[in-house]
Amino acid sequence: MARARPPTASRRAVLGAGASLIAAGSAAAAAPGGSAEAEARRILERYQGFGDKASGGPGDEASGAWIEGELKSLGYACRRQPFDVPAYAGDPPALSAGEASATLIPQAIVAPTPGVTGPLYVYGQGRGAIALIVLPHARWSTAKGSVERQVKAAAAAGARAAVIVTTGPTGEACALNAPVDQALFDIPAAVMAPRDAEPFLRVAAAGGTAGFRMAGRAFRRPAYNVTARLDRGAAKTLVISTPRSGWFSCAGERGSGLAAWLLLARWAAQARLPVNLALVATSGHEYEYAGGERFIAEVAPKPAQTALWVHLGANVAARDWHERGPLLAPLPSADPQRFLLASPPLVAAARVAFAGQPGLEQPYAADPAQAAGEFASILKGGYDPVVAIFGSHRFHHTRSDDLRCVAPGLIPPVAEAMATVIAAALNA
């Protein structure tokens, strides 16, 4: 039987550097009492503090500027990659019927209306002016596909507005992603929390009328990706990507991945990796990954010049919850609805590195049919080898995705495991 090849000095140096840097975190976190967990907490709290991260909005702009500062302090050369995205400003949409009223989430690309009044009905059970589209239970994230087909069908049957009920695990409304440059349907639409739907279902069953209003302003505004490079004169480049934008504050959806990404950025800058480094924190995520698509098309190294692409998408390390009827209690463990995909030669290394981490302990071979988010665009672009994490935690795309949805201690193990996979992929 052949003996396993012992790690080279270079490999030991890389892995040792990864362990020490990720354990130490930033220089600030390495002070007495500091740790990678403390560094993760610092990143999460700072990111949460910027508020909602809708593409091109104040929170997204501010978080991008902060990320630039973090990367520059590590020696990266940063540039902004600009593009534009849809936006909506003004009063939130609302549905009212008799004494019942509910505040809704505008569905992008927004088609404002001063008001639609008429019969309210449940889609599939008649016709009317306002269609109430009740979705089956899921962790909803996009209007493309099933939602798009139902709204279009309602419009074809005469509906002049649609209200989408995103039935899911929290009772809250789930904002839905949409394309960046073309509306999915021609009628105004908005999203309702399932916990608000009951009185409207009764009105619809009784053949009653309702009023829908979404009288704000739809427009486009600038957004930007934060790109960073550290050139070492190598033939190939390691790319590490993560989205930074999202509908709301996105502590679990975005913050956990961003924290792991920044830990890896520090490790990669100081480890003796035989590659150049290219990093990106994309905006435009809600618009079917517009920022990621732009990065691939205009800035990213070509597949032939890329040694490895690592993507940290949604739900990298959000916490799980105990569920008891309508009551939810946070757990210290990670939500297992997160997926680890890797090029086939890296699956075994990923399985060893992520052993014991819920969800991630079962890596899958990268397959465009199973990929989601920006990772699908990366695979479509022809990049290989690749490794990515993505998923949907319980409060995905809801207003309650705040610091209650994260536990800083869950993040360093993900970064450490990914550093191990990177070193194995680069044979460093």
Summarize pLDDT for 43-80 with one digit per residue, the tens: 999 999 999 999 999 999 999 999 999 999 999 999 99
The conformation of residue 102, written as its DSSP 8-state character, comes to: E
Alpha-carbon gap, residue 284 to 179, rounded angstroms: 10
Q: Which CATH number fits domain 9-87+222-426: 3.40.630.10, 3.30.450.30, 3.30.70.20, 1.10.630.10?
A: 3.40.630.10
Strands (E), 176-263: 189-192, 209-214, 217-230, 237-243
Query: How far out from the chain centre does Cα 95 lie?
Result: 28
Its pTM stands at 0.92
Distance in angstroms (rounded) separating the CA atoms of residues 413 and 417: 6
Q: Which regions of the chain are under pLDDT 50?
A: 1-18, 20-21, 24-33
CA angle 345, 258, 223 (to 5 degrees): 110
pLDDT score for 34: 54
* Cα distance between residue 148 and residue 391, in whole Å: 22
Per-residue pLDDT at 368:
87
Query: In angstroms, how far is CA 80 from the centroid of its own chain?
Result: 20
Domain ranges, ordered by start, for the chain: 9-87+222-426, 91-215
Token reading at 122: 């449940």
Domain 91-215 sits in CATH at 3.50.30.30
Q: What is the pLDDT of residue 156?
A: 97
